[in-house]
Structure 1
Amino acid sequence: MAWSDEVADGDIVEHYPHGPCGCGADLGQAADLGVTARHPQIEIPLVVARRLQHHLHSVACRCGRVHTATRPAGVPAAPVSLGVNLQAWCVYLLVVHAIPVHRVAELVASLTGAEPSAGFVHALISRAAGAVASANARIRTLLTLAYVVCCDETPIRVGPKKAKKYLLVACNQLLTWYMLGGRDMATFKRFVLADLAGVVVHDRYQNYDATDLGTRDHQLCVAHLLRDLEDCAETHPDVRWPRQLQMALRGLVHAANLARAQARDAIAPGTLAMFVKMFRGGVAVGLSQVKRLPGPAKTVTQPAGRVLLEVLRDRAGDVLRFAYDLRIPPTNNQAERDLRPAKTQQKISGRLRSEKATEHRYTVRGYLSTALKHGLDVMTVLRDALLGNLWMPPDPVTT
């Protein structure tokens, strides 16, 4: 923490020596020489839940009509309820930090003195998902209209012990949208891909290229390609083409990042030409050294690196698209970052019991992730959503 002299008067705690001096005099009667040392400390007040009682008064107008005060937002018509701040805390701990339901109830009780039941805490997931549903639908719509969308998927344990689902994410630097499903074509048809108008950045999973999902431009994730090339380098330690291809791709990524940092619209032509030539040369050499084996693809296993080299040859435009258009990221790292909370949740909480509750969880997670990407305070937008004051992602800025 940085030093600051800006401290409110009420936040200053004065300390004086006390007790007797060596001479026997009481230090409480000694002359004050002023402050000789300062020790700032960041502290939070103890949080104690208070019981608020809302009295709704009625008044009689001169005309005879009687008017009763409106019940405040967030106060249900129930004998006793938990306030929206406590509800937001519970949802935040559940969704953002993946804390199990019973532990959330225990944690809130320990920190505040309020004692929400596990059933109440669990029901908040559904309520929060309903509160942000319209914003979540807008996020999906905005993604289908975006110029670039990063996509990825990860296995997730949901339902019965042997059941496995996939959590899919579509995102960019401002938006995040999740969908629970499988890794099959039926799921991908319900995913954003069928409606997507822009470039999709992905890891080469075959469903992203399915023709019945429509045609669009692709950017194959360079990070995945570099890892595959590392495997080739270990499998073929005596050849140079894997390292040459890695050098070319890394050089282009660095050049693209540098151009963006310098507010330029493109990579310097000479740099671009040099690395593209290095890339194409590496692919040609690799294909000449790793020969394709004849026979049907389903029955013949090709030598290590052959299929990758054919992808680099046949889809060079999809590999190098980022180098010609700086609006396109070279990797789908954004999607992997947005999926990381799901992997963390699996490690912390294990299997999720209900598919519906899991869908609700990631509906809220996508909304909060989007709000965070817009620089908003997560607790504020969550509390406002529970009160019915839903924040909506704005229209994209066009230039």
Structure 2
Amino acid sequence: MEENVIFEKNIELSLPTDIVSCHKLILAQQEMIELLVAQNQELTDRLSEMEVQQKQLLGKVTALETRLNQNSKNSSRPPSSDGFAKKPALPRQSGKKRGGQSGHKGKTLDMVAHADHIVPLAPNRCVCGYDLSGIHKQVIEKRQVFDLPTPKLEVTEYQLQSCICPACRQLQVGQFPDSVPARVQYGPGVRSLSVLLNNGYQVSFSKIRRFFCDVFGYELNESTQVSANHRCYEALQSSQQRIQQELLQSPVNHFDETGLRVVGKLHWLHNCSNAKFTYLFVHAKRGKKALNDPASLIPAYEGWAVHDCWASYFGYESCRHAVCGAHLLRDLQGLIEQGSHWAARMHDLLLYAYHKSDRGQCTVPDMDCLYRRYDHICYLADQEEPPPQYRYKNKRPKKSKGRNLMERLVRYRDAVLAFAKYEAVPFTNNQAERDVRPAKTKQKVAGCFRTLPGAQVYARIQSFLSTTRKHQLNVFNELVATFGGSNFLVAPGGC
């Protein structure tokens, strides 16, 4: 009878004595080898899959850690998203005391040449008892108090009069001004204050009503405030056209966009501005559809367009492009915190060029050297951030943030270094970011715009308010003038 073969450790094996048994043993061993090879291949495949899964999980963990560690210093997130954690104190290396330094230009309340009210403080009687009422006195010192008058609404009554002409005996009746269409209404001052509070200071309608009740004793209802906004919007049409004309003629403009919630959906507030003028418009899209809209200025603009490297802007070749250096520095800082070496070198190079250009006020002397260093760092970045391998023919692999940033730096090199080559080009796009920031505050207060026309009304009014402030004019007075049919933008001999 054939002997059983047992493959176990520490058990003595007995070999078959006949050829048939040997043949069967060989076949059994071959089957066992094939089984072990199959099992080994299966384990190898499973190990490979687990290694791939491990890499994917490590990538996800790294991405989550990167998102968790993002703040306003190493990404494009706003400072309001940083939370309330205490920021680390910066090392004090200057040795100077805190606060204002000796000799710095301060700001204080100065006396005016002509006061509204004068209160003489004359001595009436001498300490010896002599009457000083008839004695000439001189002013030896002045002190002034700046205060608000008692707030009240002034009521102007228009009385329509009639008479009989003594010559032709016909009845002649006067006419009310066009600004007085109803029996009772609020004047341009009240409407201007309502518009300014709602759009300039982001105060809600309910709080404006409470403010008027507390201060003036009149409740300004919501419909009156909405009507004031719409009347101001219509009155500012020619002013907006003037702003557009000035921006199209400007050698440098800043472009940016920020999200707005309108009727529960995401819309975009687009900005074009410079140091003197601000233009805002609302659109449902962020990219080409919005930029090709008749409300957009960039298709007809031929100067320098400074922006944050949004790809849609580069499709317009009529203008020259410059990329915001502050955005690049933040993105590079995020990579530095992940251990990137090339990002640290590029970060230092951009700061070097920034300081060499006197903080964006002049050009860098040796641009050829700057270009060579820039290209060399991009080469190192390409070695450190290789392109991802294609595992599937129909699925493009996801690039790392470092790879994406490196490719942007290579593709838009001239736009990145434009500030160093051209004196008129600034290093950052901070002007545009400052001009869209009030809209974010408005959205935090209101939550969203309930209608698209309401958002468009806000955009036009905010454009005018920002432009007025940039010209250092009294915003309230210019709003009153706007309701009167004119302001500094459209008046003859204006700005």
Letter in 1 for 2:354: V
Match of 2:414 in 1: 317
Check conservation: 1:139, 1:393, Cα contact below 8 A: no
Structure 1, 248-257 or 172-181: larger mean CA deviation: 248-257
Q: Deviations over 1:165-224 (max 9, x none)?
A: 1111111111111111122432221122222222211112222123xx554321111111
Match of 2:290 in 1: 187
Check conservation: 1:56, 1:68, Cα contact below 8 A: yes
Check conservation: 1:220, 1:318, Cα contact below 8 A: yes
Identify which of 282, 286, 289 aligns with 2:377: 282
Query: C-alpha root-mean-square deviation of aligned residues, in Å?
Result: 3.3
Match of 1:174 in 2: 276
Residues 308 and 393 of structure 1: CA distance in aligned 2, closer, same or farther (over 3 Å): farther
Distance apart, 1:130 and its partner CA: 0.1
Letter in 2 for 1:134: S
Check conservation: 1:170, 1:177, Cα contact below 8 A: yes
The share of aligned pairs that are identical, in percent, is 24
Q: Deviations over 1:262-282 (max 9, x none)?
A: xxxx42514x55544443332
Match of 1:164 in 2: 266
Match of 1:218 in 2: 321
1:348 & 1:255 partners in 2: Cα distance? 42
Identify which of 124, 145, 156 aligns with 1:41: 145
Distance apart, 1:142 and its partner CA: 2.8
Alignment length, in residue pairs? 375
What SS does the aligned partner of 2:417 have? helix
What SS does the aligned partner of 1:376 have? coil
Match of 1:255 in 2: 356
TM-score, scaled to structure 1:
0.83
Check conservation: 1:203, 1:220, Cα contact below 8 A: yes
2:112 & 2:460 partners in 1: Cα distance? 43
Distance apart, 1:226 and its partner CA: 0.7
Alignment of 1:17-96 (within 5 A): 40-58=144-162, 64=168, 69-72=174-177, 74=179, 76-96=180-200
Letter in 2 for 1:174: K
1:16 & 1:274 partners in 2: Cα distance? 78
Identify which of 318, 332, 336 aligns with 1:233: 336
Distance apart, 1:393 and its partner CA: 6.5
Check conservation: 1:170, 1:335, Cα contact below 8 A: yes
- The answer on 1:117 being equivalent to 2:117 is no
Check conservation: 2:272, 2:278, Cα contact below 8 A: yes
2:317 & 2:167 partners in 1: Cα distance? 67
Check conservation: 2:161, 2:173, Cα contact below 8 A: yes
- The answer on 1:269 being equivalent to 2:365 is yes
Residues 90 and 287 of structure 1: CA distance in aligned 2, closer, same or farther (over 3 Å): same
Residues 259 and 171 of structure 1: CA distance in aligned 2, closer, same or farther (over 3 Å): closer
- The answer on 1:4 being equivalent to 2:4 is no
- The answer on 1:138 being equivalent to 2:233 is no
Residues 113 and 292 of structure 1: CA distance in aligned 2, closer, same or farther (over 3 Å): same
Letter in 2 for 1:377: N
Unpaired runs of 5+ residues, structure 2, are 1-107
What SS does the aligned partner of 2:255 have? strand
Check conservation: 1:150, 1:335, Cα contact below 8 A: yes
What SS does the aligned partner of 1:157 have? strand
Check conservation: 1:175, 1:370, Cα contact below 8 A: yes
2:464 & 2:394 partners in 1: Cα distance? 43
Residues 61 and 327 of structure 1: CA distance in aligned 2, closer, same or farther (over 3 Å): farther
Match of 1:205 in 2: 310
TM-score, scaled to structure 2:
0.68
2:368 & 2:348 partners in 1: Cα distance? 14
Distance apart, 1:41 and its partner CA: 3.1
Unpaired runs of 5+ residues, structure 1, are 18-24, 261-265
Match of 2:396 in 1: 299
Letter in 2 for 1:236: G
Check conservation: 2:363, 2:419, Cα contact below 8 A: no
What SS does the aligned partner of 1:154 have? strand
Residues 283 and 380 of structure 1: CA distance in aligned 2, closer, same or farther (over 3 Å): same
Higher gyration radius (CA): 2
Q: Deviations over 1:310-357 (max 9, x none)?
A: 221221111111211111222221111011001111112212211101
Letter in 1 for 2:469: L
What SS does the aligned partner of 2:280 have? strand
- The answer on 1:326 being equivalent to 2:423 is yes
Residues 73 and 113 of structure 1: CA distance in aligned 2, closer, same or farther (over 3 Å): farther
Check conservation: 1:221, 1:330, Cα contact below 8 A: yes
1:329 & 1:317 partners in 2: Cα distance? 14
Residues 321 and 345 of structure 1: CA distance in aligned 2, closer, same or farther (over 3 Å): same
- The answer on 1:127 being equivalent to 2:231 is yes
Residues 288 and 294 of structure 1: CA distance in aligned 2, closer, same or farther (over 3 Å): same
Match of 2:67 in 1: none
2:277 & 2:173 partners in 1: Cα distance? 43
Residues 98 and 256 of structure 1: CA distance in aligned 2, closer, same or farther (over 3 Å): same
2:394 & 2:322 partners in 1: Cα distance? 25
Residues 202 and 62 of structure 1: CA distance in aligned 2, closer, same or farther (over 3 Å): same
Where relative contact order (Cα < 8 A, 6+ residues apart) is larger, the structure is 1
2:381 & 2:394 partners in 1: Cα distance? 20
Check conservation: 1:249, 1:275, Cα contact below 8 A: no
1:282 & 1:49 partners in 2: Cα distance? 67
Distance apart, 1:4 and its partner CA: 3.1
Q: Deviations over 1:49-82 (max 9, x none)?
A: 12221224456667547765553463x2211011
Structure 1, 145-154 or 86-95: larger mean CA deviation: 145-154
Check conservation: 2:354, 2:427, Cα contact below 8 A: yes
